[in-house]
Amino acid sequence: MFFLDHIWLIPLFPAFGAAMMFFFGRRLQKATVNAICVGAVVVAFLFACFTVVEYTHFAHGTGRPLEKIVYTWLGGNGHLNFLKKDGTTASFNADAGFLLDPLSSIWLLFVTGVGMLIHIYSVGYMAHEGGYYRFFGYMNLFMFSMLTLILANNYMLLFVGWEGVGLCSYLLIGFYFHRKSATDAANKAFIVNRIGDAGFILGALTLSWYLGSFRFTDINALAHSGHFAIGDPVLTIAALLLFVGACGKSAQLPLYVWLPDAMEGPTPVSALIHAATMVTAGVYMVARSNAVFVLAPTAMKTVAIIGALTAVFAASIGLVQNDIKRVLAYSTVSQLGYMFLALGVGAFAAGVFHVFTHAFFKALLFLGAGSVIHAMSGEQDMRNMGDLRGRIPTTYKTMLIATLAIAGIPPLAGFFSKDEILWQAYRSAYGSFPYLWLIGFGTALMTAFYMARLIFLTFYGQPRMSHEVEHHIHESPKSMTGPLVVLAIGSVCAGWLGVPASLGGTNAFGKFLEPVFAQETAASVAPTAPQEPAGEEHRGLEWMLMVLSVVAAVVGGGWAYGYYANAGKGYTEPIAVQAPPLYTALYNKWFVDEAYDYAFTGRRKIGDVRLGAMGAGEASSWFDAKIIDGAVNDVGWVTRAVATLSKWWDKWIIDGPLVNGPAILCRFPLSPIARLFEWGLVQWYALVMVAGLLGFGVYYVWK
C-alpha cells in the first residue's frame, strides 16, 4: 500500500521540478533542466503506474474509491457553519484530499503518460528556443495542476487544479511574450476560462449550499440516496453552472473561442494542454459529477446539444483553415464536442473512452505537426507545404496513422470510441436523439475530409515552399520522433481496450469504469427512459451504423483526395469555388470573434458606440469622473462659493464698518491716551502691576 498511501506525492514531483526552475532555473544548464523536469514527470508516471496497479488490487473490481486526506484545507475546527437550503447547518470544509477511483486512474495514467512523452519531445523541439528553463518550469507546473485536478477529492481542490491548468495554459500560450498575438491569445484564454470558472465556482457553491459538502463521495452518496427527485431545480441549476465551467475549460460553444487562438503557444504545449489533457478537464469534471447530472435531465440535454453543435460547428470551420495547427485546434474542439455529446446522452463511459483514445491521436497529430513545423523552419501555413512524405518519413507515417484513427477507420483507436458515441447517441436512454446522431455523423464526414485535406496538403501534391525552406527540410531528432512512434502505437492499440460486445469484444474499458457510472445510469433510466434495447435485437442496427460511419470516413477522405492529392501552387478550395459566401463565413470562423468583440469585450465599436465590458467600463469611468466625483467636487465648489460670499461679507460688512470702524475711531482720538499704558518699557508694566497691587491693598484694607 506504499503507493496508495503516498498518492499525494504524485503531484508533488512535478511541483518540485517547477519550484526548482522557479528558484534556480536561470542558473542551470539545459541538461540539468532536462534531468529535473523530465525526470520529475517520468517519476510521476512510474509512481502513477504503480499506484494504479495497487489500486486494482485494492478495489478488486468493485471500483470502490480510495480517499486519502492529507490535511484540512478550507475550514477551521468545524465551527464555521452555514445554513443549507433546507435550513440545517453544514460545516464549511474542504480538505487537501485525494481520491482514486477508476475514473481518476484512467486520467492519471494517460495524463502522466502522454505528459511524459511530450516532455521528452519538448527536449528536442525547444532545444533552440530561449527561456528553456521557463518552458519546462511551466510545463511541470502544469503537470502539478493537472494531477491535482484529477486526484482531488472535492470541488474546491479540483478548482485549484482547474485554475492552475488555466494559469499554466495562459503562461504557455504567452510563452513568446514579445509577440502581441501570443499575449492576446493568452489573455483571451485566461479570461474566457475565467467566465467558465465563475460558473464552476457558483455551481460548486450551489451544490455545497444544497447538499452541504464539497466532497465527491458525499455528494454522490446524497445524490444516490433518493432524496432528490429527477429534475430537481436546484440540482439542475448546479449542473448547468458546472457545465458552464466545463464549456470554458473544454472549449465548447459559446466559450470555445480561446482554443484556436491558443495555438500561439509552442507546439508541445498545444499537444499537451490544448489537445490531450487540460481541455479534457471539463469532460472529467462532468463525468465526475455524473451523479448530479443524472438527476438533472435538462442539464444533460443541454450538454448533449451543446456538444453536438460544437462538434459540427468547429468541424465546419476546420474544413477551410490553412494553418496546420488551427485545423487541429478546430478538430480538437470538434472532438471535445463529441465527448460532451456522449456525456449528455448518458454514455459517460463512451465519452471517457473517447477522451482516452483522443489523447493519443490528437497528441500525436499535434506533435507531428510540430515536427512538420520544425522541418519547415517555423512555417505553419499548409498552402506553403506539400510533398513532404519522402523527406520526413517517420513524421508522415505516424501522422497518417493518427489521421486514420481520428477519421474512424477500423481497427484504429478512434473507430471504437467514436462509434460507441454515435451508437449511444442514436439509441440514447434520454429520449431519442436521432438528430444528434445525424449531427455526429455529419461531423464524422467533415472530420475525415479536413484531416485528409491536412495530410494531402502537407505530405502529398507538389512542393510549394520557398527554396531556402526546402533546402532545410530534415527529419526531427530522435527525442522527437521517439514519442511520435510511441503515440502512434497507442493510437493503433488504445481502442482495443474498449471493443464493444457487438464486435465480439469485452469492452474492458467500460467494465473498468462501470462502478463509477453504473448506478446512475440505472437510476436515471428507470422512470422515464424507454427500456434499454436488448443487445441482440439491435446488433444489426449497430453494425449498420458502424458501416455507415466507416463509409462516411472513406467518402470524406476520398473527396479530399480528389481535390487536394495533386495540389500545386494556386490550388483551389472546392468550397470557395462552389459557395463563395459560405467559404467566407467559414474562413472567418463564422465571424464569432468579431461578434464577441462587438458585443462582449467591446474591442470593436459599432459606429461610435462601444458595447461590452469595455463599453461598460468607459461608461462607468465617465460616470465616476463626472457624476460621482463631480458631485463631490460640486459640494466642494458650493462650499467654496459660500466661503467666498462669507469672505466678502466678512471683509466689507463685518470687518469694515463693524470692526474697522470702531478701530479707526479708537486710533484717532483714543489711542494716544491708551498708548500711555503700553509703551514697551518693561518697568512701566511692572509699575502697572504695582499699581494693581496698591489697588488690591487699598481695597482689602478699607473694605
Range 590-629, binding other proteins (CB under 8 A): 613-614, 616-618, 620-621, 624, 628-629
CB-wise, 187 or 217, nearer to other proteins?
187
CB-wise, 591 or 685, nearer to other proteins?
685
**Identity (one letter) of the amino acid at 158?**
L
Q: What distance in Å separates the CA atoms of residue 589 and residue 366, rounded to the nearest whole number?
A: 21
CB-wise, 80 or 229, nearer to other proteins?
80
Q: Alpha-carbon torsion 44, 46, 52, 57, what sign?
A: negative
**Nearest-approach distance from CB 182 to other proteins, in angstroms:** 8
Q: Is 433 in the site for other proteins (CB under 8 A)?
A: no
- Count of residues in contact with other proteins, rule CB under 8 A: 72
Tally Cβ neighbours within 10 Å of residue 349: 27
The helix (H) or strand (E) run that includes residue 290 is helix 290-294
CB-wise, 555 or 616, nearer to other proteins?
616
CB-wise, 72 or 322, nearer to other proteins?
72
Among 83, 645, 654, 664, binds other proteins (CB under 8 A): 83
Q: What distance in Å separates the CA atoms of residue 664 and residue 181, rounded to the nearest whole number?
A: 80
CB-wise, 98 or 348, nearer to other proteins?
98
According to CB under 8 A, which residues from 514 to 543 bind other proteins?
Answer: none
**Nearest-approach distance from CB 703 to other proteins, in angstroms:** 12
CB-wise, 209 or 496, nearer to other proteins?
209
* Binding segment toward other proteins, per CB under 8 A, in 51-59, 460-468, 550-558, 691-699: 691-699
| Distances 41 to 46, 91, 305, 360, 468 between C-alpha atoms, Å | 9, 37, 37, 17, 38
Measured in residues, the chain has a length of: 703
Q: What distance in Å separates the CA atoms of residue 328 and residue 295, rounded to the nearest whole number?
A: 35
CB-wise, 50 or 684, nearer to other proteins?
684
**Nearest-approach distance from CB 627 to other proteins, in angstroms:** 10
Among 53, 80, 641, 663, binds other proteins (CB under 8 A): 80
**Nearest-approach distance from CB 672 to other proteins, in angstroms:** 15
CA 159 to chain centre: 11
SS3 state of residue 81: strand
According to CB under 8 A, which residues from 336 to 365 bind other proteins?
Answer: none
**Identity (one letter) of the amino acid at 476?**
S
CB-wise, 673 or 682, nearer to other proteins?
682
CB-wise, 31 or 682, nearer to other proteins?
682
DSSP, residue by residue, 407-442: HT-TTSHHHHHHHHHHHHHHT-SSS--HHHHHHHHH
Radius of gyration over every alpha carbon of the chain, rounded to an integer in angstroms? 36
Q: Is 110 exposed, middle or buried (0-12, 13-18, 19+ CB in 10 A)?
A: buried
* Binding segment toward other proteins, per CB under 8 A, in 69-77, 406-414, 569-577, 580-588: 69-77
According to CB under 8 A, which residues from 148 to 167 bind other proteins?
Answer: 156, 159-160, 162-164, 167
Q: Is 32 in the site for other proteins (CB under 8 A)?
A: no
Among 8, 39, 49, 75, binds other proteins (CB under 8 A): 75
Q: Is 421 in the site for other proteins (CB under 8 A)?
A: no
The helix (H) or strand (E) run that includes residue 145 is helix 132-151
**Nearest-approach distance from CB 91 to other proteins, in angstroms:** 10
Among 225, 531, 572, 683, binds other proteins (CB under 8 A): 683
Q: What distance in Å separates the CA atoms of residue 178 and residue 227, rounded to the nearest whole number?
A: 56
CB-wise, 62 or 77, nearer to other proteins?
77
**Nearest-approach distance from CB 242 to other proteins, in angstroms:** 14
CB-wise, 595 or 694, nearer to other proteins?
694
**Nearest-approach distance from CB 141 to other proteins, in angstroms:** 11
According to CB under 8 A, which residues from 4 to 23 bind other proteins?
Answer: 22
According to CB under 8 A, which residues from 628 to 667 bind other proteins?
Answer: 628-629, 632, 636
Q: Is 692 in the site for other proteins (CB under 8 A)?
A: no
**Nearest-approach distance from CB 646 to other proteins, in angstroms:** 17
Among 82, 591, 637, 677, binds other proteins (CB under 8 A): 82
Here's the x/- map for other proteins, 175-214, by CB under 8 A: it reads as --xxxx--xx-xx--xx--xx-xxx-xx--xx-xx-----
CA 208 to chain centre: 22
Q: Is 88 in the site for other proteins (CB under 8 A)?
A: no
Q: What distance in Å separates the CA atoms of residue 13 and residue 45, rounded to the nearest whole number?
A: 10
Among 81, 298, 322, 519, binds other proteins (CB under 8 A): 81
| Distances 370 to 41, 399, 580 between C-alpha atoms, Å | 21, 11, 31
DSSP letter at 77? S
Here's the x/- map for other proteins, 94-113, by CB under 8 A: it reads as --------------------
Per DSSP bridges, beta strands 94-100 and 609-610 are unpaired
Q: Is 561 exposed, middle or buried (0-12, 13-18, 19+ CB in 10 A)?
A: middle
Q: What distance in Å separates the CA atoms of residue 284 and residue 252, rounded to the nearest whole number?
A: 14
**Nearest-approach distance from CB 148 to other proteins, in angstroms:** 9
Q: What distance in Å separates the CA atoms of residue 186 and residue 184, rounded to the nearest whole number?
A: 5
**Identity (one letter) of the amino acid at 626?**
K
Which residues, in sequence order, are bridge partners of residue 610? 605
**Nearest-approach distance from CB 614 to other proteins, in angstroms:** 7
Among 72, 217, 380, 384, binds other proteins (CB under 8 A): 72
CB-wise, 184 or 379, nearer to other proteins?
184
| DSSP H helices in 565-597 | 574-578, 580-587, 592-596
SS3 state of residue 323: strand
Q: φ, ψ for residue 422 (rounded to 5)?
A: -65, -40
Question: Are the C-beta atoms of 482 and 364 separated by less than 8 Å?
Answer: no
CB-wise, 213 or 334, nearer to other proteins?
213
CB-wise, 654 or 691, nearer to other proteins?
691
**Nearest-approach distance from CB 373 to other proteins, in angstroms:** 23
**Nearest-approach distance from CB 664 to other proteins, in angstroms:** 18
Q: What distance in Å separates the CA atoms of residue 133 and residue 139, rounded to the nearest whole number?
A: 10
Q: Is 254 in the site for other proteins (CB under 8 A)?
A: no
CB-wise, 177 or 648, nearer to other proteins?
177
Tally Cβ neighbours within 10 Å of residue 511: 16
Per DSSP bridges, beta strands 66-74 and 94-100 are antiparallel
Q: Is 699 in the site for other proteins (CB under 8 A)?
A: no
Within 8 A by CB and 6+ apart from 57, the residues are none
Which residues, in sequence order, are bridge partners of residue 69? 97
Q: φ, ψ for residue 465 (rounded to 5)?
A: -90, 170
According to CB under 8 A, which residues from 207 to 246 bind other proteins?
Answer: 208-209
Q: Is 681 in the site for other proteins (CB under 8 A)?
A: yes
